[in-house]
Amino acid sequence: ELPKHDIKIITGDFNAKTGNDSMGMQEIMGKHGMGNRNNNGERLVSFCDFNNLIITGTIFPHRDIHKATWKSPDGRTKNQIDHILISRRHRITVLDTKVLRGADVASDHYLGRTKLRGKLKKINTVHNPRRKYDTIQLNQEATKKKILINTPKQIPSTRNKHSRGRKRNRRN
């Protein structure tokens, strides 16, 4: 289980055609998909519904060449089968999702890109290396006596008595 405030992003080749019919599923997907929904598309939509995710590639209107994520080896068939999913709670952070056809990735799939608007917050962590002592107890007589008994009569100096400063040995 992930924290509620984290942005959940899932990307992948789902081989799922979600289609452009979003009737009854407007919270999960937009009306700008490609083609008709297949079995994997049905599974993906129900997965998104169960996990409060949205399919970002179907939300924004683009020409089909910027929606198709796969092309057949003969180049005639193009489908939108790779998807970028994001938590429904963070839908407003998605600015755009688009396919980049010019990226040379040596594959029959095109590279998908989602632009997000992010606002980073400073996390306040309490990191105080100084110890806090209860100094009110020092005013009590019993505490004063314990301190006087446990403190040595003379505290040795940490400074060497003979060294008053730095002396240099000079050779002539």
Over the range 41-71, which residues count as b (16 or more CB within 10 Å of their CB) and which as e? beebbeebeeeebbbbbbbbeeeeebbbbbb
User: Residues 46, 49, 52, 53: is their CA dihedral positive or negative?
Assistant: positive
Q: Tokens in use for 68?
A: 């198709």
**Model confidence over 44-95: pLDDT tens digits?**
999 999 999 999 999 999 999 999 999 999 989 999 999 999 999 999 999 9
**Model confidence over 136-168: pLDDT tens digits?**
887 888 888 888 777 766 666 655 555 555 555
For residue 9, give Cα distances in angstroms to 12, 19, 130, 166: 10, 21, 40, 63
Q: Give percent of the chain with pLDDT exceeding 90.
A: 53
CA proximity to 54, closest of 116, 121, 3: 116
Q: Tokens in use for 6?
A: 């984290």
Sheet with 53-55, side-by-side order of all strands: 9-13, 82-87, 53-55
Count of CB atoms situated within 10 Å of the CB of 130: 5
Least confident of 26-30, 102-106, 108-112: 102-106
Model pTM score? 0.67
Q: What is the dihedral of CA 50, 56, 62, 65, to 10 degrees?
A: -90
